Amino acid sequence: MALLCGALGAAVTLLATRQRWAQGTATVAGGGFPLTAKGSDVTGVPAALAIVGLAALVAVFAVRRAGRLLVAGLLALSGVGVVAAALVAASDGSVLDEKAAQASGDTSATVGALTHTGWPYVAVAGGALILLAGLLALRYGSLWPAMSGRYERGADRPRRRSRPVDPERPEEMWKALDRGEDPTGA
């Protein structure tokens, strides 16, 4: 459930940041012209935190014990960050004012008839899903399986004992030849 929520939340957030968040009309002496701003123009924080959330979502299954708690906390915090950044940027019109000043050449140009779309709130929903994934990982992560430690170095794992070498076995004769020994000699 956490994996689904996290992946869906990140996908929704990334989709929402590519959509139009605000639009308006800049008025200059020659008339007015429409301007729009995508979510990534307004703020890059939700998209960046969605990617951090995806990375943490993958990492939460790769680590164990305290590392899992740390990564699950990072996942939850990235969800909170997406929600906060999208809510703050939902009513921001300064990007359109900058675009109006840039397009008209007048630094005092502003945008009139400013309207906002619902996409910032879709990003908030995506951030809430990432937050839910982080909270699920914090609560139930200790019960989830971890990646195998079979190939990790460490003295805490018992070593397999080698069986006694039978010099008459064909593979042992080949190994002796590889070492430069004569396996037929006594």
Model pTM score? 0.73
3-state helix, strand, coil in the chain (%, to 5): 60, 10, 30
In a domain? residue 93: yes
Side chain identity at residue 94, one-letter code: S
Domain count, the chain: 1
Instruction: Output the tens digit of pLDDT for each of the chain's 186 residues.
Output: 888 999 999 999 999 999 998 888 887 766 777 888 888 888 999 999 999 999 999 888 888 888 889 999 999 999 999 999 999 998 887 887 787 777 777 776 777 778 889 999 999 999 999 999 999 999 988 877 776 666 566 656 566 666 777 767 888 888 888 888 886 765
In a domain? residue 180: no
In a domain? residue 68: yes
Are 91 and 116 in contact, with CB atoms under 8 Å apart? Answer: yes
